[in-house]
Amino acid sequence: MEKASDVFTRIGSFKYRDCPVVRADTMVEINSDNVVLDHLWLWHADHDDCGGASDSCYSGHGILVEGNDVMGYGLKVEHTMNNLLQWNGERGTVYFFQSELP
- Residues forming the active site: 100
Q: Which residues pair with 42 in a beta bridge?
A: 9, 77
Residue 62 in contact with residue 29, Cβ under 8 Å?
no
| Burial bucket for residue 16 (CB in 10 Å: 0-12, 13-18, 19+) | exposed
